[in-house]
Amino acid sequence: MKLRCVILDDYQNVALELVDWSSVLEKVDVQSFSNHFESEEQLVEAISNFEIVIIMRERTPFTASLFEKLPNLKLLITSGMRNASIDLVAATKQGVIVCGTASMSEPPTELTWALILNLARQITKETNEFRNNGPWQSTVGADLYGKRLGVLGLGKIGSRMAVIAQAFGMEVIAWSQNLTREIADKYGVQLAASKEELLESSDFVSIHLVLSERTKGLIGLKELQLMKTSAFLINTSRAAIVDKDALIKALRENWIAGAGIDVFDIEPLPGNHPFRKLPNVLATPHLGYVSEQNYSIYYREAVEDIQAFLDGKVIRQINS
């Protein structure tokens, strides 16, 4: 009897088309759901008979209570090798193997620059005016050349951000709890003495940190008040690094010029959320990792994970 595999949150309906699943189809039936299940009850009803589940990033959290309600689940595959929305301890307790895939750092870097450039030159506003036969030129763009980019986190993505910023002729300053002068010098950036120095002096602040207990709520009311009124905050990392309520207050009261946001505490974001209404917010629906090459890697390696599981030689296992 064949095993059953389900792909969750396949919003674009591309999972079964992007890669070749034929190597596992003799032993596994594969299907996908493009709709997002709003409640745990709906999700359990839909997937309780599946032994293999493939999830996309943190779109659908797998909590301890969910694992308990899925006794048939044997293999959970997540895109990427890190997923904070999976309770790995609960997975192990339930005997579920959790595996991951590779993930590219280029797509989120590119999306971050799309947000920065759009904010600086107010492209969305000007495009809307153009489409609606509005004023011919209604804004004056902010320059990148000669301005300072503050990078919170100088890892894979943060370091790429720094290199590209320098190509634009920007100064770059970086900070994180573990950042050393040696690493900063490697990328030709200034090491900020403190988070506060970076926030006070930067024209654009871009967040590229791993979410942890140390980084949760790292940017709050006090930090936002330090920023220039002409500065922009960009978060394509994790929503919880920035205090949502503090950011909404800062934007409503124009403490900063604006924010570019690609990550949210609830996804999909409710229709009445302030981020959908504030004029100084440029937001995208968590598109940082959504690119053809990245998706191809995710699903191709998901197939490999399934094949290895069937062969009894598990690869890329995240839990122990």
- State the catalytic residues: 238, 267, 286
The packing angle between helices 106-121 and 292-310, to 10°, is: 160
Residues 238/211, Cβ–Cβ less than 8 Å: yes
Residues 103/80, Cβ–Cβ less than 8 Å: yes
Distance (Å, whole) CA 35 – CA 208: 29
Closest CA to 150 of 233, 226, 73: 233
Distance (Å, whole) CA 152 – CA 224: 14
CA distances from 194 to 71, 150, 201 (A): 48, 12, 11
Cβ neighbourhood burial of 227 (10 Å; 0-12, 13-18, 19+)? buried
Closest CA to 290 of 103, 144, 71, 44: 103
Name the token pair of 318: 């995240």
What does the CA dihedral 45, 46, 51, 55 come to, rounded to 10 degrees? -120
Q: Order the strands of the 75-78 sheet from edge to edge.
A: 28-32, 3-7, 52-55, 75-78, 97-99
Which helix H or strand E contains 109, and what residues bound it?
helix 106-121
Name the token pair of 54: 């493939």
